[in-house]
Structure 1
Amino acid sequence: MDTTPQTSFEGPLTRLTPVAQWLVLVALTAVFAGVMILGAVPAALLIGPMLAAVATGASGAGIRVPGLGFSGAQALVGLLIGASLEPAIIASFADIWPILLLSVLVTVAASSFLGYFVSRWRILPGTTAVWGSAPGAATAMVLMAGAFGADARLVAFMQYLRVIFVTLAAALIARLWVDTSGVEVPATVWFPPLDHAAFTVTLVTALGGGFLGRLMRLPAPFFLGGMLAGALVHLGGGLALELPPWLMGVAYMVVGWTIGLKFDRALLRTAFKALPQVIVSILALMALCGLLAWFLHVEWDVDPLTAYLATSPGGMDSVAIIAAAASQDVNLSFIMAVQMARFLFVLLAGPPISRMVARWAGP
């Protein structure tokens, strides 16, 4: 564990020992994450720890998450995404490919266009603005952005702010469209009984994925290596991966801490200064995706709620939960197929697109 203070300014936590700084961080994390969980805020176990770490770091703490812990968290997040690639969803790509192609290209083009202006107007720098606007899974985009030279902290600021906006909008529209008053959201079982054989396979796959990513010299090697290994084991081997909520909660917390502790006061000033413009870009992207949903409804007779949730720009896991709660009124497979296709496209094409848009925006 790195115990050397790494801040260049004095703050209320600067003179505390590293152990005391960690205790402050853990206490703030419990408060922030607990309030968000009670308020059903999306990605509470990632955003809560990240906000706690931002507050701790901005107060002069010099602690940092060990690199090995962050690498393991990345591998687990990649494993989760790889294991979510269901054969039925991938098979549906062939049936709805025109809709997939249109949805992916329009959403990516719109987000890149907005990222161009955020960068061009010097609201946020270069590829950071493009990755921050990318309509993919937020955690994956943050991890990928850092590997390709963007500022992962500002990308996280844009991505998770959009996750909150998009999820709240989707939940509101779903509530207005479908009566979900009688639907009970199942309580999360944080410590379910473990299948020890499957859990062992999961840990071995995570280790093997990280090693594979390093061996192949992939960007974000632990994340992408974990994702590839998870997909191979789940799709190719037909094996179930055991990823209990407590384990993923720890992984999200570590990712949030790693990002948040890197914020300093200068970066916070940059983020707050850019906040109005970032909110405008988020609302603009949501409006464009809403128009795309309307087009799918008119031209392909996709029911409006399904079309809106399918084209919703980000918060894939949250959108899946909202769609499942209204499962009798939406086509869940269609929604996840469109969301997954867009995510895979951004994952593969994101780096060259971000570099191209950054070049167009100028130095």
Structure 2
Amino acid sequence: MAIDPEPPSRLASFAAPWQWLLLAALSLVIAVILEVAALPAALLIGPMIAAIAVGVSGATIRPAPSLFVAAQGIIGCMIVSAIEPALFRTLLSGWPIILAAVLSTLAASSILGAMVARWGSLPGTTAVWGSAPGAASAMVVMADAFGADARLVAFMQYLRMIMVSISAALLARIWVDTGDLAHEAIEWFPRLVVPDFPMTLAIAAIGAFGGRMSGIPGATLLGPLVLGIPLHLGLGLDLQLPEWLLAASYAFIGWTIGLRFTRPVLLHAARSLPQIVAAIVVLIGFCAAIGAVLAATFDVDPLTAFLATSPGGMDSVAIIAAASGSVDLSFVMTLQMTRFLIVLLVGPPLARAIARRMSRGSS
């Protein structure tokens, strides 16, 4: 079933600068409201919600892909700055449990995707690809090559990212005492340190854009890690990430995700939306149960374990973990990266096999 073209809207008739101004203003208002409510990652969630609102209202603006890549490079550097040598010992000592957690998540998402495809009204094998817990971009490309509806796959992938981001931020608000953090003054424009700041920008740019040139899905986030971790841990390089740079990166990531939601896509997915949302909620709950096991095994707090196992995007999870204050960002991102690499290798072939099996069964 084809998706109907975007209907004309009053917002679409506005010039691009006015649309950007509206998006920026709405993002600021929502972010301030969330900050006042002490919700972690308000600088990500606010722009994301604002982008969904203007996207559904017919906005035609989209962030340049290069800005999204640059933003992921900055988030990669933020992850690098949180990595500690002691974590690798933890990872090596508990690798059987971590591997079991990753494979369990992959199996659960595959089963849920097959169930949505069987019981829902999504065309073809779209639900299988949309439920796969891999890099969203990788799954969209693979789905399109296999004949599934790529736009609906993107809708499912990014809807899950949004639901995970909001649920994780709400849980962080409940579990983390932000009373002291709320009174800490944020230095938005600190003195830039040489060579720390220039090296941070270089690692972000070379790692992210080099990763994109490699053609490997997710390499825009992994590139800065591959380049930065040896420099940070081996040579003792300190990365400087001023708040204004992080806030801009959060906004571009939130806008890129939110603007993918348009009215035609939402209307097309409306019939299957209850099944899609139910599958995402079940998957989040399943990952939370795995997180409870990890919390007891590795002696980490429940929020750290939840973020480490949550089926959202690595960049959004990293932002929420960093904004939560007491979360062990190093532990969260090590597990997220481990799952990402395994899913990157196993996810597309597994989804393709399930999709092919379902196609034979329905023929």
TM-score for both structures, normalised by structure 2: 0.75
Q: 1:308 to 1:123 in 2, by over 3 A?
A: farther
CA distance in 1 between partners of 2:140 and 2:192 (Å)? 34
- Shift in Å, 1:255: 2.4
Partner of 2:254: 256
Residue pairs, 1:160-239, within 5 angstroms: 160-169=162-171, 172=174, 174=175, 180=177, 184=181, 187=184, 188-239=186-237
Q: Secondary structure at the match of 1:190?
A: coil
Consecutive unaligned residues in structure 2, runs of 5 or more: 145-149
Partner of 2:160: 158
Q: Is the 8 A contact 2:287 2:306 kept in 1?
A: no
CA distance in 2 between partners of 1:118 and 1:182 (Å)? 42
Q: Determine which of 38, 56, 64 is the counterpart of 2:36.
A: 38
- Shift in Å, 1:281: 2.0
Question: Residues 137-161 of structure 1, C-alpha deviation per residue, up to 9 Å, x if partnerless?
Answer: xxxx445545655543441112211
CA distance in 1 between partners of 2:346 and 2:286 (Å)? 21
- Shift in Å, 1:313: 2.2
Consecutive aligned runs of 4 or more in structure 1 exceeding 6 Å deviation = 125-128, 332-336
Partner of 1:341: 338
Q: Is the 8 A contact 1:82 1:228 kept in 2?
A: no
Q: Secondary structure at the match of 1:14?
A: helix
Q: Determine which of 344, 350, 355 is the counterpart of 2:352.
A: 355
Q: Determine which of 46, 51, 59 is the counterpart of 2:49.
A: 51
- Shift in Å, 1:129: 4.5
CA distance in 2 between partners of 1:206 and 1:345 (Å)? 24
Partner of 2:77: 79
- Shift in Å, 1:239: 1.9
CA distance in 1 between partners of 2:121 and 2:242 (Å)? 40
Q: Is the 8 A contact 1:78 1:227 kept in 2?
A: yes
Q: Is the 8 A contact 1:289 1:308 kept in 2?
A: no
CA distance in 1 between partners of 2:67 and 2:300 (Å)? 44
Q: 1:241 to 1:269 in 2, by over 3 A?
A: same
Q: Secondary structure at the match of 1:93?
A: helix
Q: Is the 8 A contact 1:162 1:314 kept in 2?
A: yes
Question: Residues 6-49 of structure 1, C-alpha deviation per residue, up to 9 Å, x if partnerless?
Answer: x8432112322222222222222222222223233444323322
Question: Residues 175-210 of structure 1, C-alpha deviation per residue, up to 9 Å, x if partnerless?
Answer: 7xxxx5876556444333332311100111222224
Cα-Cα RMSD: 3.8
Consecutive unaligned residues in structure 1, runs of 5 or more: 1-6
- Shift in Å, 1:61: 2.8
Q: Is the 8 A contact 1:130 1:357 kept in 2?
A: yes
Q: 1:155 to 1:197 in 2, by over 3 A?
A: same
Residue pairs, 1:313-324, within 5 angstroms: 313-314=310-311, 316-317=317-318, 318=320, 324=326
Q: 1:323 to 1:105 in 2, by over 3 A?
A: farther
Q: Is the 8 A contact 2:287 2:311 kept in 1?
A: no
Partner of 2:147: none
Q: How many equivalent pairs are there?
A: 342
Counterpart code for 1:51: I
TM-score for both structures, normalised by structure 1: 0.75
- Shift in Å, 1:218: 2.4
Q: Secondary structure at the match of 1:37?
A: helix
Q: Secondary structure at the match of 2:60?
A: coil
Counterpart code for 1:66: A
